[in-house]
Structure 1
Amino acid sequence: MTPTTPYHDRMQRALDHIDRHLDDELDLASISAVAAFSKYHFHRQFVATFGLPVHRYVQLARLQRASHRLAFHADRVTDVALDAGYDAPDAFARAFRRHFGQSPSSFRSVPDWAPWRAALLPLDHARNRSMPTYDVTIRDFPDTPIACLSHEGDMASIGDSIRRFIAWRRANRLPPSDAATFNVFHGDPHDPHAGPVRIDLCVATERAFPMADGITTGLIPGGRCAVIRIAGRADDLEAPALHLYRDWLPISGEELRDFPLFCQRVRFAPEVAEHDAITDLFLPLR
């Protein structure tokens, strides 16, 4: 992994500050002060480091959060608009349609994920340019019975699978506060040549369910695991996964066990604010 420098640490602080304060007033002076840079130069520094202007990053981050609330939760459009920093729902609707090609109400009913993903690519690229550091620990993971919904194929439509899984959990009274949430990654979703992509959306439960609605039951087997804890937003786990495989494993002396990479969503929105989310990424070891 490329080592960070004090300069990049300060730029990363600014990015983290934005993600943690999307509900606050975010102007150039306050953001540059967090990184201890001059406000007269910070805009160009931000563009050079992350590839897009500060105001656009803030807008896209707020619209991404708003789209998650519309697609996966029952929040009113008016409340979503206000939380996204818009004074009126019609201004929010115009911005939402301009970026994603759908009105907020249409997106809530039937999200069109392809233009949504395309519009948010600059946000993903900015976050992938950051250089976080990761601490790896070894943990004994217990046998964990699960019920899961498998998403296979095009990752662009995984949002539809998440919506189905959330609805099924609600119908079966398995809220995140009572039943742990896991994702199991079969293959690499970033490599189309690695074979069919499959991600299991899982909830820890010992209850038996009929084989209906695409739900199956199974087990995440117990054993030793290398673990990285990610604090805050964890939409894309590629960077910590690469660190485990590329940087940590070759010098660890460890051997991999025959089970895929998986994660536990320890805390996640809307149960907590996005910046307070916690995700544990597990690499099974012998």
Structure 2
Amino acid sequence: MLRDFFIHKHITMSAIKGIHHVTAIAGRAKKNFDFYTRVMGLRFVKKTVNFDDPNTYHFYYGDEKGDPGTILTFFPWEDIATGRRGTHMATEIGYSVPEGSLDFWLKRFEKENIIYNKPSSKFGEVYLTFLDPDGLKIELTVPEQSDDRKPWETAEIKENNATRGFHHVTLTLDDIQPTADLLVSVFGWELKKNHTNRYRFAGPEGQQGGFIDLVEAKGEMRGHVAGGSVHHVAFRVPDEATQEKLRTELENRGLHLTTVLDRKYFKSVYFREPGGVLFELATDAPGFTVDEPLNELGTHLMLPPQYEAQREEIIKKLVKLD
């Protein structure tokens, strides 16, 4: 049964359309690159470096243009320890896939020796769970309503099987109420479904904006973010003015936010939501074609301006991908 205090919350703002991107931590860069471009068939949208650690890559994968809602990014640290799933963290990333495609993915995972579980059902939707090479938990979900987003295709993965973008992200929390209150009363999202301890929230764009599932796991061990873990979840804001309004609203509620940071492809503000998960508010603009033409996305090493003078030194320290 849906909790009344979620249903009757007063919504103050509905400016957040959906999920913008999800950033995770990986181990070996080449293995990560091969898995997501070849095995999963995502487009390599951008090859750049970590703003705080320029000797480490920052990879962006997505659809043709790297549209918000399709972007999965990684910080690959070669020798990082493996994380542990638990409370106070994002524990699953869900992709939307077409009806009839799960057999294709099962055979592909068998061929590639990927760890997976047999398909199951959640909220009336069939899904397939698997682990990436670092243990990151991912689900391929056949959505209740068909997903009309245009996918990126490869020689081996065509439109009838390719991922469409995010379907959901799951947060596992000790107590979901404070996070649910934030999603509803500040983000303007709504509780759509509930089964036992899982609560599904949607923004104004519904399924194609990506759901946030909150799983309440009282007493479960706190998770540890490291290799194979989600680092943060970013939400879409249409522009900087809306971002600033949200920033003020969140500060007025006692949360601590960063200043606005220029990430070259979007402007960002970071904060920890009440359950302990790192959230980001990211603008849609300017996007990934700001420094590479559409047909060349991901083919060059694009450095943040402050590191351009160190290009040769940085290249020597980065792992080769080919």
- Shorter chain as denominator, the TM-score bin is under 0.3
Give the structure-2-normalised TM-score.
Answer: 0.25
Structure (1 or 2) with the greater strand fraction: 2
Structure (1 or 2) with the greater helix fraction: 1
Larger Rg: 1
Give the structure-1-normalised TM-score.
Answer: 0.27
